[in-house]
């Protein structure tokens, strides 16, 4: 079988991520959970939309992880995945400007981007989806729908809303992937992902802020509960080793994971369900606000002919690392890869709804 040069480049890149960044925030919610979120959101859509989205459900779910792939390849991408709300003060989540232009006027764009712009950029992606639906561009609709599902997932993760994003300030290194990846991978087969029908969101921008505010309110409980559990758990039974991609990788043990899950009292499942519902709500709302256009289906083969490739940039190699705190080294061959040029532009023309 013939494999193209693009195939091998992508394969090399994914091997690099697996070997060099096994626990970093690149895997927000985990690739597994992000795909599951977009997949199940399709089934909450009304008859007018489900035909289009179900016809492309493979693309919608598989490409839910594209924003994470771009984190180390595209400047301006990483800050779209988080908001360090407590960097502005303990109760700042309630007072931060909800509109981008007001936030820039108050804090300056550089400062905002340094602490994350998740709620503003999520809304920006939603606006782009509305415009794509108005234009009838099926490929762009699907690409933005997949991206929007990812960003909505991120604002439902408590540790995406704090400067203590991996417990590095409280001696709880690894809690980020523990909450958002290890628990869903082990236990989500028991979750109920039927979330009901998609509903119209009257004010999407404010709804996004309501969600990230509620998410941030859970940060203290996540950290405190894990700290309590760790204090009562034998250290030698806290971790185990599992084979992943041919390597023995240290992970939180099943027993410890189940104990933490029990202490959280269904929190991870609730956040996954809330994410699925809101993703469907925003897809539906974008369609309504676009004038309820008929979305033409396109052939899967035609659509999948050209896949995006993402190769990391040198100055993004260590961005927001939280497991190894920048101590990783990089193999010499990595410096010889042909990196993508910076492709992002500042797209924050915030029209209020």
Token pair listed for 204: 């999407």
Domains contained in the chain, CATH given: 5-336 (1.10.575.10)
Measure the CA–CA gap between 82 and 84, rounded to whole angstroms: 7
Q: What is the pLDDT of residues 36-92, one digit of tens each?
A: 999 999 999 999 999 999 999 999 999 999 999 999 889 999 999 999 999 999 999
DSSP label of 151 = H
Average the pLDDT over each of 92-101, 148-157, 237-246 and give the range with the smallest value.
237-246
Checking if the pLDDT of 25 tops 80, the result is no
Q: What is the pLDDT of residues 154-168, one digit of tens each?
A: 999 999 999 999 999
pLDDT category of residue 301 using cuts at 50, 70 and 90: low
Q: What is the pLDDT of residues 240-260, one digit of tens each?
A: 998 877 888 899 999 999 999
Average the pLDDT over each of 68-72, 130-134, 217-221 and give the range with the smallest value.
68-72
The structure's pTM equals: 0.80
CA angle (62, 250, 172) in 5-degree steps: 95
316 or 153, higher pLDDT = 153
349 or 306, higher pLDDT = 306
User: What percent of the residues of the chain are helix, what percent strand, and what percent coil, each to the nearest 5?
Assistant: 60, 5, 35
**Do 342 and 310 meet the contact criterion of CB atoms below 8 Å apart?**
no
pLDDT for 333 equals 28
98 or 344, higher pLDDT = 98
pLDDT for 245 equals 77
**Do 206 and 214 meet the contact criterion of CB atoms below 8 Å apart?**
no
Residue 235 burial by Cβ neighbours in a 10 Å radius (0-12, 13-18, 19+): exposed
């Amino acid at each position: 079988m013939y494999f193209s040069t693009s195939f091998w480049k992508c394969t090399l890149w994914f091997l690099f991520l697996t070997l060099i960044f096994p626990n970093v925030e690149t895997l927000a919610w985990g690739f597994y959970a992000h795909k599951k979120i977009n997949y199940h959101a399709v089934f909450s859509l009304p008859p007018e939309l489900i035909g289009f989205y179900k016809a492309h459900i493979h693309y919608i779910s598989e490409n839910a992880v594209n924003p994470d792939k771009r984190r180390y390849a595209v400047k301006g991408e990483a800050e779209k995945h988080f908001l360090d709300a407590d960097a502005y003060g303990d109760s700042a989540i309630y007072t931060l400007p909800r509109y981008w232009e007001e936030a820039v006027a108050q804090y300056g764009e550089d400062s905002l981007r340094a602490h994350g712009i998740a709620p503003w950029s999520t809304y920006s992606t939603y606006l782009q989806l509305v415009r794509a639906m108005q234009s009838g561009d099926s490929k762009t609709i699907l690409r933005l729908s997949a991206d929007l599902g990812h960003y909505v997932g991120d604002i439902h993760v408590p540790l995406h809303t704090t400067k203590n994003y991996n417990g590095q300030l409280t001696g709880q290194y690894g809690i980020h992937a523990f909450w958002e990846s290890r628990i869903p991978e082990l236990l989500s087969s028991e979750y109920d992902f039927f979330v009901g029908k998609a509903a119209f969101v009257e004010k999407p921008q404010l709804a996004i802020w309501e969600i990230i505010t509620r998410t941030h309110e859970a940060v203290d409980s996540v950290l405190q509960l894990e700290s309590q559990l760790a204090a009562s758990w034998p250290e030698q039974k806290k971790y185990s080793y599992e084979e992943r991609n041919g390597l023995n990788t240290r992970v939180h043990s099943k027993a410890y994971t189940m104990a933490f899950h029990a202490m959280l009292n269904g929190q991870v499942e609730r956040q996954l369900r809330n994410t699925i519902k809101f993703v469907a709500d925003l897809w539906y709302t974008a369609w309504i606000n676009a004038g309820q256009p008929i979305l033409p289906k396109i052939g899967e083969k035609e659509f999948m002919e050209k896949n995006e490739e993402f190769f990391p940039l040198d100055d993004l190699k260590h961005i927001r690392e939280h497991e190894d705190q920048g101590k990783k080294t990089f193999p010499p061959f990595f410096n010889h890869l042909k990196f993508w040029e910076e492709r992002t532009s500042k797209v924050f023309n915030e029209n209020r709804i």
